[in-house]
Amino acid sequence: MTDAAARELAARGLDARDDTAPPTGATAALVLADGTVFWGSGIGATGVTDGEVCFNTSMTGYQEILTDPSYAGQIITFTFPHIGNVGANPEDIETMTPAARGLVLRADITDPSNWRSMQHLNAWLESHGLIGLAGVDTRQLTHRIRDNGAPSGVIVHAPDGRFDLPAIRSKAKAWPGLGGMDLAKTVTCAQTYVWEETRWRLGEGYGRLAAPKYRVVAVDYGAKRNILRCLADLGCHVTVVPATATAEEILRHEPDGVFLSNGPGDPAATGVYAVPTLQKLLAESKLPIFGICLGHQLLSLALGAKTEKMHQGHRGANHPVKDLASGRVEITSQNHGFVVQDDTLPESLEPTHVSLFDGSNEGIRVKDRPVFSVQYHPEASPGPQDSHYLFERFVAAISESRS
C-alpha cells in the first residue's frame, strides 16, 4: 500500500489481515494461503497470478532476477526498497520470457537514472505480462517467510479497486506449492541450438566466440544466458540441448565436457527423467561434468545423494560460502529452494563448499573423476564475481582430459 494508505489503516486500527474493504487508493493485494492480505498499489500488468512467495535480498540486478528461469512458479519479494532505479534494457536479461509469476515491492517503482536505461521498469513489466504491487511492508512479509517458510500466495492487480477476497483466498489456498513440481520442462529450450555470445564488456557490449577450443554440451534445465556466456568466453563452443535430452543425444555431439544448468522446481520431480540420463552418461563416458544449482542437485541425485525442500531457501547476492579445500570465503549469488542433504552423500562424493549462513551443502565433487557441481551461481548475474574460477576449473579439466 502507499504510505498514505498505511497511515489510514493505522488510524483505523486495522492490520494486514483485516477483511474489510481495501483502503483508499489500493489497487492491488497480495493474499497468502492462510488468508493474510497485504494491500498495495498495482504495478506492471493487470490481472491475477499465483505462486510460492519468496524473498530476494539483492541490492542490484532486479532485471536479471526477474528473468532468471529458476524463478518459475514464484512471486519475488524484493527486500531492497529502490527497485527500478536503473530502468530496464534489452541486454540485462537471462531469458527472453520471464518465468517469475510476479513481484512485491516496498516503495513505488523508482524513476530510472542510468545511462544504459532504455525503458521504465513499469513499462517493461507490462510488456512481459508481469503482475506486481508496491507499498507493502516487505520487512513484515520477509519476517513471516523467514519464520514460517515460503507460503503460497496470489497477487491481484485491479485498477478499479474491486477485490473478491473469498475467491482470491481460495485460489491462494489451492496453489499446490513447488514440492513435486517438474518446472524444468516449462522453461527448457524447445530444440537444440548453438551458443556463441561471450560476456559483456564496457564499451564493447557482448562479444562473439571467434576461436573455439572446446566442445561443450549444456543441458538446459532453465539455463541463464550469462552462464552460457561465461563458457563461451573461455573458448567453449556450446551446444544447448533440452532438459529431456538422452545420454545418446548428448554424446552424439562429441563433447569435450558436459554442463548441467540451473533451473526451477523440485529436483526429485525433474530427476524422474534427468537422473537416468546422467547415470548413463557417467557410466558410458569419462567426460568432465560441471553442474550449477538444479544441475548440482540432479548430479547429486544421480550419484546417490538425496535432496529436500528448504524452510525458506537462499535467494540473494550476498551469501557467504566457504571453499572447504582452500578455506577461502566467497560472496555468492544464490537462488534455490531445495538443497542436497550432506548426510546422504555416498563415499564416492565429498562436499566441497558450505553455506556460512546455515551450514547447508553448496558443492560436491567425485573423488576420482573431473565431475563437480555447486549450488550457487558463479556467473555473477546478478552478484559478485568471486566464483568465476569455477568455469576456469571446468575448462582446465576439459583441457587435461583431452591431453
Who wins on pLDDT, 399 or 22? 399
Is 293 designated active site?
Answer: yes
Nearest to 2 by CA among 146, 164, 133, 114: 133
Report H helices in 3-44.
3-12
Phi-psi region at 278: left, alpha or beta (left = phi > 0; alpha = psi -120 to 50): alpha
Q: Is 236 a catalytic residue?
A: no
Residue-level pLDDT at 382: 85
Neighbours of 329 (CB within 10 A): 12
By the 10 Å C-beta count (0-12 exposed, 13-18 middle, 19+ buried), 318 is classed as: middle
Pick the catalytic residue: 54, 293, 296, 314?
293
Check whether 13 has a pLDDT greater than 70.
Answer: no
Inform me whether the pLDDT recorded for 81 exceeds 60. Answer: yes
Model pLDDT, residue 14: 38
Pairing of strands 47-56, 74-78: parallel
Alpha helices, DSSP H, located in 80-183: 121-127, 138-148, 165-174
**Confidence at residue 21, expressed as pLDDT on a 0 to 100 scale:** 73
Distances from the Cα of 342 to the Cαs of 169, 291, 325, 355, 369, in angstroms? 38, 17, 16, 12, 19
Q: pLDDT tens digits, residue range 143-171?
A: 999 999 999 999 999 999 999 999 999 99
Predicted pLDDT at 201: 93
The C-alpha cell 492480505 sits at: 37
Tell me the pairing of strands 329-340 and 307-323: antiparallel
Q: Return the CATH number of 184-402, one of 3.50.50.60, 3.40.50.880, 3.20.20.80, 3.40.190.10.
A: 3.40.50.880
pLDDT band at 19 (very low <50, low <70, confident <90, very high): low
DSSP 8-state assignment for residue 88 = B
Interhelix angle for 267-284 vs 294-302, to 10°? 60
Residue 70: HSE in the Cβ half-sphere, 13 Å Cα cutoff: 32
Give the model's pLDDT for residue 1.
Answer: 42
Mean pLDDT of the chain: 94
Annotated active-site residue 388? The verdict is: no
Distance CA 293, CA 299 (A): 10
Question: How many of the other CB atoms lie within 10 Å of CB of 251?
Answer: 16
Q: What is the pLDDT of residues 294-341, one digit of tens each?
A: 999 999 999 999 999 999 999 999 999 999 999 999 999 999 999 999
3-class DSSP state of 238:
strand
- Name the segment(s) of the chain with CATH classification 3.50.30.20: 3-174
- The confidence score (pLDDT) of residue 350 equals 98
Backbone angles phi, psi at 168, to 5 degrees: -65, -40
Catalytic residue among 157, 319, 336, 377: 377
pLDDT of residue 380: 85
- Helix/strand/coil for 29: strand
Residue range 327-386, pLDDT digits in tens: 999 999 999 999 999 999 999 999 999 999 999 999 999 999 999 999 999 998 888 999
Percent of the chain residues topping a pLDDT of 70: 95
Q: Place 20 in a pLDDT band, splitting at 50, 70 and 90.
A: low
β-strand pairing of 289-292 with 257-260? parallel
Strand 102-104 relative to strand 74-78, pairing: parallel
Domain 3-174: top CATH class = alpha beta
**Tell me, what's the pLDDT at 4?**
52
Average pLDDT over residues 42-46: 98
| Stretch(es) of the chain classified as CATH 3.40.50.880 | 184-402
Q: What number is the average pLDDT over the span 247-251?
A: 98
SS3 per-residue string spanning 170-229: HHHHHCCCCCCCCCHHHHCCCCCEEECEEEEECCCEEEECCCCCEEEEEEECCCCHHHHH
Name the least confident of 19-33, 201-215, 276-290. Answer: 19-33
- pLDDT value, residue 170: 97
